[in-house]
Amino acid sequence: MINLLLRGIAVTAVTTAMLLAGGGNIANAGGSITGTVSFEGDAPSRRPIRMSADPKCDEANPDGRLGDAILIADGKVQNVFVYLKEGVSGTFEKPTEVVNLDQNGCMYAPRIAGAMVGQTIEILNSDETLHNVHSLPKESKQFNNAMPIKGMKIKKRFTAPEIMVRVKCDVHPWMAAWIGVLDHPFFTVSAADGSFTIENVPAGTYTVEAWHEKFGTRTASVTVSDGGSAGSDFSFARAN
């Protein structure tokens, strides 16, 4: 009996070592999707925001503030939500990490974010003025909360996937944010240089969508291999 038990332990140890050494991976050796979001032609100009209706907002922005709905530098587009639209299978546990949304300088930061269904979204008021956080989902229950105190936090969750959920401030009409809600973790937001990476993607073929609040959407088909990196660039242009 003891010899059989020891033999079983040895076989298990050898099998595990072989898998970890490259004969296979106990966890799916996911690949990645990388790319860049570009803009064709002359970028639209950013317009100054008039915050004089709230002196606290003016004080928080002594040099003024430009709108952040369109952020383009050197032909690269920031704040594009990129996600796997089709091809994902299986179920995924919601992350324990919190998605942070700050009200700072009478602007939302970040303007574009992503969360999984049921994931906690923590909203902070960093300003010495009243904000009213009002979400406008179509698939989940709306919330509408006043946040009058600096440092105040509230926690929210969305119950169904939706691209995209708009969040606004009823007190300051220029304030807006967008949250992409998905039932999987394969999404990201393009950086200031237009680059993006979606990591740990299982091998397969997917439809990838790039969403921008002003320019609409672009899609591409991408095939990912285990441990490989697939490329997918997107390009937007000013609407005619």
Is residue 9, in this structure, part of any structural domain at all? no
Nearest to 25 by CA among 37, 16, 33: 16
Is residue 137, in this structure, part of any structural domain at all? yes
Could you report the per-residue pLDDT of 33-85, keeping only the tens digit for each? 999 999 999 999 999 999 999 999 999 999 999 999 999 999 999 999 999 99
Is residue 16, in this structure, part of any structural domain at all? no
Question: What integer pLDDT is reported at residue 28 of this predicted model?
Answer: 53
How far apart are alpha carbons 99 and 76 in whole angstroms? 25
Q: Is the pLDDT reported for residue 26 higher than 70?
A: no
Q: Is the pLDDT reported for residue 3 higher than 60?
A: no
Percentage of the chain lying above the pLDDT 70 cut: 87
Is residue 25, in this structure, part of any structural domain at all? no
239 falls in which pLDDT band (50, 70, 90)? low
CATH of the domain at 93: 2.60.40.420
Is residue 11, in this structure, part of any structural domain at all? no
Mean pLDDT score across all residues of the chain: 89
Is residue 20, in this structure, part of any structural domain at all? no
Is residue 82, in this structure, part of any structural domain at all? yes
Torsion angle of the four alpha carbons 147, 115, 45, 171, in this order, in degrees rounded to the nearest 10: -20
Could you report the per-residue pLDDT of 79-133, keeping only the tens digit for each? 999 999 999 999 999 999 999 999 999 999 999 999 999 999 999 999 999 999 9
**Residue 23 DSSP one-character state:** I
Tally the domains of the chain.
1
Is 229 in contact with 196 (CB distance < 8 Å)?
no
Measured CA to CA in angstroms, residue 134 lies from 80, 144, 146, 166 at distances of 22, 4, 9, 8
How far apart are alpha carbons 74 and 193 in whole angstroms? 8
**Which domain range does residue 188 map to?**
30-237
Question: What integer pLDDT is reported at residue 187 of this predicted model?
Answer: 98
Q: Report, as an integer, the average pLDDT of 160-182.
A: 97
Is residue 59, in this structure, part of any structural domain at all? yes
